[in-house]
Structure 1
Amino acid sequence: MQTTSIPQEPASLHLLPKVERQRLHDTVVEHLRGFIVEGMLAPGTKLNERELCETLGISRTPLREALKVLAAEGLIEISQNRGATVSRMTEAEIRETFEVMSGLEAFSGELACQRITPAELAEIKALHYAMLACRAQNDLTGYYSRNQEIHDRINEAARNTVLRQTYVAVNRRLQALRFRSNFQTQKWDCAVHDHEEMLKALDARDGKRLAEILRQHLLDKRDAILQAGQANEP
């Protein structure tokens, strides 16, 4: 049985659009984070400042400011001698970080079932159906964007500032791996099924059930990544 339908070869950086000057700092960070998440800048890649400046249409000052932000997030490493490189995660780091993330997602779901508003739930449902449309079109980038926004909205609906801050910090380190966990068609379809079950539990305000689904959802992603040998060890 064919298990993959997603091309894994990253797109060329030269084909990407230039950065608009408005909100330059945030936009540069967002672009570079996207390059890392979608594998255009793979783990261990040494970042060429001149090439990135040409690609994004910016000077070195905003680029270096953005690199500092990504270094603080753990997405890149900056060395005085070697410059900036995309961070690698060892198998142990992947395993442990996903374990923590599964707990954060579960707690978010439990609290969200207590605190979510009808309007917020309606927005999540709309995102879910948009995500399904992307799956039908084999659009992994569009699917992932809406997928992550659903998880993010559930976390926001928990209305816990400390949980929110911790969730965002930990999740940033895992986004590239979460993106790649759907390369196999079977895994992708399992993830879609999980999201359908999440929506049912959220709609029923069943916090215990949603927490269980979210926890296992993250652990399944961890296992898929490790089984596929996608740990970023040198």
Structure 2
Amino acid sequence: MDQVRRPRGRPRKPALLGPVTGSGRLSLHEQAVRRLRAMIVEGALPAGAPLVETELSEALGVSRTPLREAVKLLAMEGLVELRPNRSPRIAALDPEAVRALFEALAWIERAGAELAAQRMGRDDLDRLQALQAAIEAHHRNGEIAPYFAANHATHALIVACAGNPPLREAHEALHARAEIARRRALDSHGRWSESVAEHRAILAALVARDGPRAGLLLAEHVSHTGAALLAALSRSDAA
């Protein structure tokens, strides 16, 4: 796979997002959190980029108060770095933090797959098979954005099918940081194809109701992604 080019430097009033509105069930700051999180995960706000209040407030159509609340919540998630007397900025990917993140994810998702293999229903398996078909199609067509949506849905569904709310909550808490890392890892040559093949094997183990194998394969899959990202970070540091 060719490397996916990411925008660098300070964001320029991101026009890809419409203004936040007061309609719906979410408050303004909750909507702002979702929009900003998506921009960070998708690379529109790259690592190290400062968050300029005036530009983001205008782009999102919100005042500074809900924007500041959103930034604080994203800082708690590890996506934003707060700096005294300076603008917040998008947190960089630290190798030690990446190693710890994927170590935690590997164990969480391994437990999720082992439980899901025994607890998921026929409808759940049908949904996983449909997601795998989508993953395969997006990979063939080089469609990176919809691929990531299907990839995330697959990981989330497996853990959800474990039927263990605390496990699911722990997984969701790490989601945004993991998605940034997964996208960066798939920039590595060949990792995308490997990832698709690994998903295929995980699905086969779940269909066979082989919990130990499904858990092992999913843990290895997560670990391989972490290793690919660490290698990419190492190359960037050496450049």
Does TM, scored on the shorter chain, surpass 0.5?
Answer: yes
SS of residue in 2 equivalent to 1:183: coil
Percent identical across equivalent pairs? 34
- Residue 151 of structure 1 aligns with an amino acid whose one-letter code is H
State yes or no: 1:161 paired with 2:165: yes
> Unaligned regions of 5+ residues in structure 1, if any?
none
Aligned pairs for 1:33-52 (under 5 A) are 33-52=37-56
Segment of structure 1 superposing worse, 140-149 or 73-82: 73-82
Q: Using structure 1 for the length normalisation, give the TM-score.
A: 0.90
How far apart are residue 226 of structure 1 and its match?
A: 1.2
- The aligned counterpart of 1:70 is 74
Which residue number in structure 1 is paired with residue 222 of structure 2?
218
Rounded to whole Å, the distance in 2 between the matches of 1:97 and 1:32 is 21
Residue 58 of structure 1, CA deviation: 2.2
Measured in 1, the distance between the counterparts of 2:60 and 2:20 equals: 9
Q: Secondary structure at the match of 1:35?
A: helix
Partner of 1:139: 143
* Residue 143 of structure 1, CA deviation: 0.3
- What is the alpha-carbon distance in structure 2 between the residues aligned to residue 189 and residue 147 of structure 1? 13
Q: Report the CA distance between 1:34 and its aligned residue.
A: 1.3
Aligned 8 A contact 2:17 2:60 in 1:
yes
Instruction: Find the aligned partners of 1:42 and 1:231 in 2 and give their Cα distance.
Output: 18
- The yes-or-no answer on 1:4 pairing with 2:8 is no
Between 182-191 and 192-201, the greater mean CA deviation after superposition:
182-191
Count of equivalent residues: 231
**Whole-angstrom CA distance in 2 between matches of 1:96 and 1:145:** 24
Instruction: Name the structure, 1 or 2, with higher relative contact order (CA <8 Å, separation 6+).
Output: 1
Q: Is residue 75–residue 86 contact of structure 1 (8 Å, CA) maintained in 2?
A: yes
Structure 1 Cα separation of the partners of residues 13 and 120 of structure 2: 40
User: Using the alignment, how far apart are the partners of 1:90 and 1:232 within structure 2?
Assistant: 12
Amino acid at match of 2:41: V
Displacement after TM superposition at 1:85 (Å): 1.3
Deviation (angstroms), 1:174: 2.2
- Equivalent residue for 1:90? 94
Q: Which moved more, 1:116-125 or 1:224-233?
A: 224-233
CA distance in 1, matches of 2:95, 2:188: 20
Q: Could you tell which deviates more after superposition, 12-21 or 191-200?
A: 12-21
Query: Partner letter of residue 85 of structure 1?
Result: R
Task: List structure 1 runs of 4+ shifted beyond 6 angstroms.
Answer: 230-233
Q: For residues 49-198 of structure 1, what are the structure 2 equivalents within 5 Å?
A: 49-198=53-202
Aligned CA RMSD, in angstroms, stands at 2.1
Distance 2:107 2:173 in 1: 14
